[in-house]
Amino acid sequence: MTVLPAVLASVAGSIIDRLGARSTLQWVALIGLAVNAAYLATHSLTGFMTIRVLEGLIPVGAYAAAPALIMATTSPERRGRAMAFWSTYTPVGVATGLALSGSFAGTGEWRGGYLVHLALFAVLALTSPLLPRVPQAVLRATTGRPGLFSVWTQAGPLRLSLTFATLIVMGFGMTTIYPEWFARQHATEVGHASNILSVATLVMIAGGFGAGALLARGWRDARLLAGIVIAASLISLPLFAPGLHESVRIVALIVWMLAQGAAIAVVVGALPRVVADPMQGAAAAGLLSQLAALVTFVTPLIWQPILQAGYWPGFVAVVVVVAVGAWLIFPRWSGSD
């Protein structure tokens, strides 16, 4: 499902800026209906794989249109906090998905998950007319129609997207190896470690909300990100070091997830600041999603060799280098500068 976002997200964002974020979200709901109906109807592996690729249209549309609509319809003083709230969609989505569909996994009723998704998209389609409309003042403030690839030439969105991608290398990379590493250290099953990681992921929501609250109180995003980078680097020691009690490692994991949620919220919350034209938000958000999707293909190549070697200082080194790199890349100026 990450193939289409990795290839199309930024261009799709530019197209969404032309079509309108609100109408795009309405189409996303209809595509979700069609995709899940197709899952229920197909009985071949080829059919499932084809639908899986086409399902990528949903994140391509939603991950660009939703933040664009938020940026275009919220007041400047509330934008950063609103975007920080939006940044929690991943842990919220994971938790909701597990709660609603997890019981169907590994059973003869596995198609029930798609039925639940179908119902959710039906609700989204029926309630989509309630989505806010972009104010006329914002529409009049737009600077015109830039080229489909113009966002790649804008330093602010590009550097912010690179920052986000760098954080994905750190956060996503850790989740690809941690269940096995945790299981090795505590002589437990990988499944048990995966369950611990899944529950700890929910803490990212609190991290996102906390960062949003601090931004709303006037904290500078670059300074806040610096503190998060330092915290992530320090907590990586008990997160990966051998010989620690399981409870100590779980506490470290919770703090790590808090830092991850806060870091993502800070970066996503900076999106309105680096976009000069409020009607180009989808293109910038699309670039953010595209680079994040691209790095997921190469991130395991960084983390897996360290896991195979069992060299825990390598994990810490990756965290420190990536975290500091993210802070250095992070843009500190507004889009109009």
Q: Is the model's pLDDT at 158 over the cut of 90?
A: yes
Most confident region among 103-112, 193-202, 322-331 by mean pLDDT:
322-331
Q: Cβ of 108: how many Cβ atoms within 10 Å?
A: 7
| C-beta of residue 27 within 8 angstroms of C-beta of residue 61 | yes
77: left (phi over 0), alpha (psi -120 to 50) or beta: alpha
How many angstroms from the chain centroid is the CA of residue 148?
A: 23
Please tell me what DSSP assigns to residue 129. G
Q: How many angstroms separate the CA atoms of 14 and 284, rounded?
A: 8
| C-beta of residue 236 within 8 angstroms of C-beta of residue 170 | no
What the block records as the tokens of 21 is 């974020």
Q: How many CA atoms lie within 13 A of 254 on its CB side?
A: 8
Q: How confident is the model at residue 77 (pLDDT cuts 50, 70, 90)?
A: confident
Task: List pLDDT tens digits, range 78-94.
Answer: 887 888 888 888 888 87
| C-beta of residue 73 within 8 angstroms of C-beta of residue 135 | yes
The mean-pLDDT minimum among 16-25, 89-98, 157-166, 188-197 falls in 89-98
Q: How many angstroms separate the CA atoms of 230 and 323, rounded?
A: 8
Task: Return the closest-CA partner of residue 271 out of 6, 12, 71.
Answer: 71
Task: Return the closest-CA partner of residue 10 out of 264, 276, 284.
Answer: 284
Task: Return the closest-CA partner of residue 35 out of 129, 125, 123, 121.
Answer: 121
Reduced to 3 states (helix: H, G, I; strand: E, B; else coil), residue 19 is: helix
- Indicate the pTM of the whole model: 0.86
Q: Which of the two residues, 95 and 307, has the higher pLDDT score? A: 307
Task: Return the closest-CA partner of residue 33 out of 58, 15, 53, 50.
Answer: 58
Q: Cβ of 220: how many Cβ atoms within 10 Å?
A: 12
Q: How confident is the model at residue 251 (pLDDT cuts 50, 70, 90)?
A: very high
Q: What is the pLDDT of residue 326?
A: 96
Mean pLDDT of the chain: 88
Q: How many angstroms separate the CA atoms of 69 and 113, rounded?
A: 29
Burial profile 174-209: b = 16 or more Cβ within 10 angstroms, e = fewer: bbebbbebbbebbeeeeeebbebbbebbbbbbbbbb
Q: Is the model's pLDDT at 227 over the cut of 80?
A: yes
Q: What is the pLDDT of residue 1?
A: 60
**Ranges of each domain in the chain:** 3-75+96-139, 151-329
| C-beta of residue 200 within 8 angstroms of C-beta of residue 253 | yes
The mean-pLDDT minimum among 141-155, 228-242, 286-300, 310-324 falls in 141-155
Please tell me what DSSP assigns to residue 149. T
Reduced to 3 states (helix: H, G, I; strand: E, B; else coil), residue 306 is: helix
- Helices marked H in 43-189: 45-54, 57-73, 76-86, 89-101, 112-127, 136-141, 155-186
Taking residues 250-255, report their average pLDDT.
Answer: 96
What the block records as the tokens of 62 is 């939603």
What the block records as the tokens of 238 is 């008990």
Q: What is the pLDDT of residue 318?
A: 97
Q: What is the pLDDT of residue 141?
A: 57
CATH architecture of 151-329: Up-down Bundle (1.20)
| C-beta of residue 206 within 8 angstroms of C-beta of residue 258 | yes
